[in-house]
Amino acid sequence: MSDLSAFPITQRWPARHPDRIQLYSLPTPNGVKVSIMLEEVGLAYEPHLIDITKNETWGPEFLSLNPNGKIPAILDPNGPGGRPLALFESGAILIYLAEKTGQLLSADPATRYQTIQWLMFQMGAVGPMFGQLGFFHRFAGKDYEDKR
Ligand SMILES: N[C@@H](CCC(=O)N[C@@H](CS)C(=O)NCC(=O)O)C(=O)O
């Protein structure tokens, strides 16, 4: 039986299955990247819904896992060396899960770096721009006055 009690996040969102990867997320574009990956590679996981509209990522328990206060984040009870590993940033989590399972990231160096290239492109360019688009056109930002 895995013991995750040293991680404060498990006090706010208790692990019913501490032997499974704990996923702290919400169905946003960044959030579903990790749940889709977990389904694709076939790893057992326990999802915890984090309500960002209630600022749940900014409480001390969530910040103990991700000091940047954003979903998604995971806690793998069986990380490298058999020790628990906490991770945030969706791209880092995708690479970790690919390497953990030996799936979706080629062992051939050229192909591997091409995959990482597109992941970085998504993380650094397309993702943040779509995020801005959604914020300013659909969510709270749409009420901002456009002084142009
Ligand atoms: N670069 C981060 C971005 C994560 C991110 O922006 N998460 C948003 C939801 S999609 C969030 O948690 N926002 C809550 C907040 O900032 O209060 C990643 O890819 O994991």
pLDDT in tens, 80-109: 999 999 999 999 999 999 999 999 999 999
Domain presence at residue 45:
yes
Is position 147 within any domain?
Answer: no
Question: Is ligand 1 within 6 A of the CB of residue 89?
Answer: yes
Please tell me whether residues 125 and 100 are part of one structural domain.
no
- Asked if 11 and 73 sit in the same domain, the reply is yes
pLDDT score of 111: 98
Same-domain pairing of 11 and 23: yes
Does some domain include residue 36?
yes
**Are 42 and 72 members of one domain?**
yes
Task: Supply the pLDDT for residue 68.
Answer: 98
Same domain, 54 and 117: no
Clarify whether residues 116 and 47 are in a common domain: no
> What is the DSSP secondary-structure string of 20-42?
SEEEEE-SSHHHHHHHHHHHHHT
Radius of gyration, CA atoms only, the chain = 17
Report which of 91, 86, 81 is spatially closest to residue 34, judged by C-alpha positions.
Answer: 91
User: Is 148 a member of any domain?
Assistant: no
Q: How many A from CA of 98 to the centre of ligand 1?
A: 21
Compute the distance from residue 52 Cα to the ligand 1 centre, in Å: 9
> Which pLDDT belongs to residue 1?
66
Give 10-residue mean pLDDT values along the chain (148 residues): 92 98 97 98 98 96 98 98 97 98 98 98 96 88 85
Question: Could you tell me the distance, in angstroms and rounded to a whole number, from the CA of residue 89 to the centre of ligand 1?
Answer: 8
Range of the domain at 15: 1-104
Task: Return d(Cα 30, Cα 128) in angstroms, integer.
Answer: 10
Same domain, 62 and 119: no
Residue 35 CA to residue 139 CA, distance in Å, equals 23
